[in-house]
Amino acid sequence: MAEIFVISIGLSLDVFVAVAYLGAGFSRVDRKNLILLSLLFGGMQLGALLAGNLITLLPFFPGPGSRHIAQRWEVLTVLIFAGLGVYMIQKGIKKEEVLERREDAIDWKKVIILSVVTSLDALFAGVGFGFLDTEVIAQALSLFPVTVLSTVLGVYMGYMLGLEHKRKAYWTGGILLLTASIDVVIHYII
């Protein structure tokens, strides 16, 4: 359960940075919009995670028959989590200048697209969890509340501090996902 929680935090830090961009533009935080943003991002992350789990149930993936086949999927899981970690760290390395400007109106079409894009890593993580036969309920009970909390914190951090700490959030998420990949190696492969 600890690795599920660590991966949930790592995945939600991408959402944290995305909503910090929104929060940096707010002249005040509207609670109704904050609730809607939290439900949207949490729901998209959860849906993507479940879709990733369902992908592993497709017939072209062999069932948990032999240990050799299962070990191949565990190696793929390590590669998925490590790849996501490296991707997050690369996003943290980029020195991207962003012009912060006040904009209280939320363009929901753009936000929905943003929530889909930030959920792609949750889709891949769902595939990884599916290969490890991790309980879907445990994943959902971890990822959804962590993402909701990350959304709330991201909006408020962006509102109060701007985008000053976004690179640190990416680095932290990447390190957590790399740590999770090492944990999978230790628990399932060695």
Span 56-82, mean pLDDT? 64
CA distance 84 to 118: 12
pLDDT band at 65 (very low <50, low <70, confident <90, very high): very low
Residue 66 three-state SS: coil
What is the overall mean pLDDT for the chain? 81
- Cβ atoms of 2 and 187 within 8 Å: the answer is no
99-138 confidence digits (pLDDT tens)? 556 777 888 999 999 999 889 888 988 888 887 778 888 8
Q: Which amino acid is at 58?
A: L
Q: How many domains does the chain have?
A: 1
Q: Write out the residue range of the structural domain in which residue 80 sits.
A: 2-97+104-189
